[in-house]
Amino acid sequence: MKKVFALLFLILISKTYSQNTEITITLKDEETKQNIEGASVFVVKGKQYHLSNSDGKVSFSVKGISNIQISHTGYNLLTVRSSTLKETDNIVYLKAKLAVLEELVVTKQHPQKILASLIENSSNKLSIPARLKVYSREFFKLNGEYKNYNDGLMNFQLTGKPKKFETKILVEQNRSFGLEGMTDNVSDELLGYNLNNIMENYYNFKYLLLLLEPKAKKDFDFFINASATNDDYYTLKAIPFPSSKGLLDDFAITYDRKKKIIVEVSAIVSPMTIARVVDKTSSNAKNIYKSIFNAKYRIDDNNYYLSSSKEEIGFEQVKKGRASDIEVRSYLVTTNFSNQNFSFKETEVFLDKTLFNKKNKILTDYWHTSGLVPTDEEEEIIQNLEERHK
């Protein structure tokens, strides 16, 4: 009889460890209790990567028991066991790093030369060949009203060599609502990511190249900070001088000072910069009032790859004498990484620039567990657009 009970117990344990469990957590600041957006949540078992939304929420599926690594540049690293979490209503508090003055790093080389070396080394270190399973999400807002939404789950296959690589995309699932009849009134640059060159831009660090131009020394104040709370990372900053002309971003490039590779890039046009730029009134003029960019890169064992990005832009466009207010918000999240190639037919390769006009293919509720959970507000926007365009 004891053997029977022991066998039943082993069967029960085996089933428990083999089942997929859906877990939702909300990340909050330990002191302020505020939600934490943009935290990286890595499920070690299965190597799943997720990003917390503006509500601090993350949902993921885990088979058996796994460590969950939670990281954010402003908070101490935290590791929790999935077995200690319930399926829902989990609140996980992160402890903010000590608020200390950043130490200025004095270097023999000008920071611009250091940045050039970082870009060169990082481009060469990025893992190729590779397969990135990527979740994409985009919102389009016209004159204060959300007009379009699209998202998709894709496989990016990168082959070749660093800086000379080829990207092929296979779309697993996608959905799009609301763009019908708008393409004639909206320029191509507004129709979301150009998916066929986005990885090239991120892997060649295109967004940083203007900082390497000779004139950048006249436009930007370059300096490097080291934080007392993180010995491995430095942050190289390029801030426009008050006398600089044009719409220039404030840049912050965080890098591993030992490995000499970039781990995060942020760029934002400050309100002060926007305030001193004179609005254009000519036809097809574009007056930007918001521009935010962030890209994170992950170092995982010997692999190095894009883990997530967020881009927001808001501007007034003057066209045919009429001004339109336009906002676009886009996300990419790499949910899984592999060094292995996957087989496919050339006819399956996605060749268009964006997912906007691709016929919807929905097999599962992939958007709930594909790296970035929609907030309640975003879910309402999506549902309204879906209902309006049925």
* Per-residue pLDDT tens digits of the chain, which is 390 residues long: 555 555 554 444 444 445 678 899 999 999 999 999 999 999 988 888 999 999 999 998 888 899 999 988 778 889 999 899 988 789 999 988 765 556 778 788 999 999 999 999 999 999 999 999 999 999 999 899 998 899 999 999 999 888 888 999 999 999 988 755 444 455 544 556 788 889 999 999 999 999 999 999 999 999 998 865 567 889 999 999 999 988 899 999 999 999 999 999 999 998 888 888 878 777 777 888 999 999 999 988 789 999 999 999 998 888 777 888 889 999 999 999 998 878 888 899 998 888 887 889 999 988 887 889 998 899 899 888 888 766
Res 192: pLDDT:
61
Q: Where in the chain is the domain with CATH 2.60.40.10?
A: 2-94
Q: Is 78 within 8 Å of 94 (Cβ atoms)?
A: yes
Residue bearing tokens 């994170």: 296
pLDDT for 181 equals: 46
Cα 299 to Cα 40, 294, 309, 383: the distances in Å are 12, 17, 15, 36
Please answer whether residues 226 and 100 qualify as being in contact, where contact means their C-beta atoms are separated by less than 8 angstroms.
no
Instruction: Report pLDDT for 292.
Output: 94
Cross-strand pairs, 323 = 318
- pLDDT of res. 266: 95
- pLDDT at res. 118: 97
Look up residue 228 and give its two tokens.
């007392």
| Residue 287 parent element (H or E) | strand 286-300
Tokens of residue 150, six digits: 């699209």
Contacts of 172 by beta carbon, 8 Å cutoff, 6+ apart: 152, 153, 154, 155, 361, 363, 366
Tokens of 380: 């309402």
Q: How many residues does the chain have?
A: 390
Question: Cα–Cα distance between 143 and 168 in angstroms, integer?
Answer: 35
Give residues with Cβ within 8 angstroms of 214, minimum separation 6: none
The pTM assigned to this predicted structure is: 0.86
- Residue 228 pLDDT: 57
Please name the helix (run of DSSP H) or strand (run of DSSP E) that holds residue 388, with its range, or none: helix 376-388
Contact 154, 334 (CB under 8 A): no
The encoded tokens of residue 262 equal 């970039």
pLDDT given at position 17: 47
**Fold (CATH) for 2-94:** Immunoglobulin-like (2.60.40)
Burial degree of 15 (CB within 10 A; 0-12, 13-18, 19+): exposed
Cβ atoms of residues 48 and 58 within 8 Å: no
> Rounded to an integer, what distance in angstroms lies between the CA atom of residue 113 and that of residue 119?
10
Helix ranges restricted to H, 163-249: 198-203, 216-219
Around 188, how many Cα atoms within 13 Å sit in the side-chain half-sphere?
Answer: 5
